[in-house]
Amino acid sequence: MKKTCILQDTETPEKTTDLLAAAVRMYGRDGFESHVVLVNAPPATVTGRCHHVIQMTESLAAEDDPRALAEILEILHQTYGFDSILIPATTLGKMIAPRLAWRLKTGLATGVTDITVRDGQLEITRPAGLGTMLETILQEGQGPVIMTIRINAFEYTQKQAVPTRISPYSRPVTVRSTLTRLGVEQNIEPRDIRDFEVLVAGGGGAIRCFPALEPLADALNGAVAASRKLVDLGIAKRNIQVGQSGKTVTPKVYLALGIHGSMQHLAGLRGAASILAVNTSSHAPICRVSDLVVQGDACEFIEKLMGKLMHHPHKNT
Ligand X SMILES: Cc1cc2nc3c(=O)[nH]c(=O)nc-3n(C[C@H](O)[C@H](O)[C@H](O)COP(=O)(O)OP(=O)(O)OC[C@H]3O[C@@H](n4cnc5c(N)ncnc54)[C@H](O)[C@@H]3O)c2cc1C
Question: Which CB sits closer to ligand X, 56 or 267?
Answer: 267
**From 4-12, 20-28, 86-94, 197-205, span contacting ligand X (CB under 6 A):** 197-205
Point out which span in 97-105, 162-170, 213-221, 259-267 binds ligand X (CB under 6 A).
259-267
In the complex with ligand X, the residue whose CB is nearer, 36 or 287, is 287
Quote the CA–CA distance of 237 and 314 in Å, as a whole number.
31
Tell whether residue 35 is a contact of ligand X (CB under 6 A): no
What track of x and - describes contact with ligand X for positions 63 through 92 (by CB under 6 A)? Answer: ------------------------------
From residue 266, give the alpha-carbon distance in Å to each of 188, 229, 270, 317.
28, 14, 7, 26
Identified binder of ligand X from the candidate list 260, 276, 302, 305, rule CB under 6 A: 260
Least Å distance, CB 111 to ligand X, is: 12
Q: What number of helices (H) and strands (E) belong to the chain?
A: 8, 15
The residue (of 220 and 231) whose beta carbon lies closer to ligand X is 231
Integer Cα distance of 28 and 207 in angstroms: 48
284 binds ligand X (CB under 6 A): yes
Calpha distance 130→249 (Å, rounded):
18
- Identified binder of ligand X from the candidate list 144, 222, 246, 251, rule CB under 6 A: 246
Instruction: Give me the phi and psi of 54, to 5 degrees please.
Output: -110, 115
Q: How far is the CB of 299 from ligand X (least distance, A)?
A: 6
Near ligand X by CB under 6 A: residue from 58, 116, 128, 130: 130
Among 243, 250, 255, 275, binds ligand X (CB under 6 A): 243
Convert 249-261 to b/e letters by CB count within 10 Å (16 or more is b). Answer: bbbebbbbbbbbb
Report the distance separating Cα 8 and Cα 18, nearest Å: 11
Instruction: Out of 121, 281, 282, 317, name the contact with ligand X by CB under 6 A.
Output: 281
Which residue, 54 or 298, is less far from ligand X as judged by CB?
A: 298
CA dihedral in degrees (253, 258, 264, 265; nearest 10)? -20
Q: Does 127 interact with ligand X (rule: CB under 6 A)? A: no
Residue 251: C-alpha distances to residues 141, 176, 187 (Å) = 40, 39, 24
Rounded distance between C-alpha atoms, residue 219 and residue 259, angstroms: 21
Task: Name every residue whose Cβ is closer than 8 Å to that of residue 279 and which is 6 or more positions away in sequence.
Answer: 205, 256, 258, 259, 260, 286, 287, 293, 294, 295, 298
Q: Which is nearest to 287 in space by CA: 169, 181, 205, 179?
A: 205
170 Cβ contact list (under 8 Å, min separation 6): 56, 60
- C-alpha 178/C-alpha 197 separation (Å) is 38
CB of 151 to ligand X, least distance (A): 13
Q: Is 97 in the site for ligand X (CB under 6 A)?
A: no
Among 53, 199, 298, 302, binds ligand X (CB under 6 A): 298
The one segment of 37-45, 97-105, 112-120, 235-243 that binds ligand X by CB under 6 A: 235-243
Part in contact with ligand X (CB under 6 A); list of ranges 37-45, 76-84, 110-118, 242-250: 242-250
Interacting residues toward ligand X by CB under 6 A: 130, 203-205, 227-229, 241-246, 258-260, 262, 264-265, 268, 278-281, 284, 297-298
